[in-house]
Amino acid sequence: MLGEWGLTHYFRPDWYHCDPTAYAAVLMNAYVRSQTALYSRLDDDIRNDVVRIANFVPVARRLIDMDGKREKSLAFVPVLSGPEIANAKARISENFLVVAWMQQALIDRAASYRFALERLIVAVPSPFAVDVERSLMLLRSRTAESVLVTSPQGCAVAVAPIPPRRAVVSK
């Protein structure tokens, strides 16, 4: 999909689809000796995502910062060809897309975990559900704290068209 986006410079929302029931279906159909293992697996998956956020955010923040500097530097470099400008803008847009995609994936995963937890509580009530709920709230709060880019919900991310070629002056 990212390769397709690289060719068209347009990301269609239907390329990314998350079924919030899929995780619950896999979890509920897993063979386990004890139903407590299902709660444990759900809690582990949620906590693993919390750890991944802590690793992803500093890298994504640095990437966005460097792309901001790259974009500002385009105005100060006197001689750039059209393809060089287009390449720089495409890289900036691609990085933005990856970060936005990751943010949306975290939101979708939290929704999937919520759906699975609700099904587990109905199927097999357990005091461990409270611990999983706490982990889920931690994931949601960390996700909310780690918003790095914003774009309208459900809208395609479009990249500016490739600018016309500028004359390259050589000495």
pLDDT in tens, 154-164: 444 433 333 44
- Identify whether 105 is part of a domain: yes
Q: Which residue has the higher pLDDT, 128 or 168?
A: 128
- 133 within 8 A of 117, measured Cβ to Cβ: yes
| Burial class of residue 21 in the structure, from the number of CB atoms within 10 Å of its CB (0-12 exposed, 13-18 middle, 19+ buried) | middle
pLDDT digits (tens, 9 = 90+) for 68-77: 999 999 888 8
User: What's the chain's average pLDDT?
Assistant: 82
Residue 168 lies in a domain: no
- Considering the domain boundaries, does residue 12 fall inside one? no
Q: Which domain holds residue 59?
A: 2-6+21-147
Residue 17 identity: H
Tell me if 162 is assigned to some domain. no
**84 lies in some domain:** yes
Residue at token pair 């897309």 = 97
Cross-strand bridge partners of residue 156:
none
Residue at 59 is within a domain? yes
In tens, the pLDDT along 36-52 reads 999 999 999 999 999 99
Coil/strand/helix, residue 149: coil
- Mean pLDDT lowest for which of 7-16, 28-37, 90-99, 120-129? 7-16
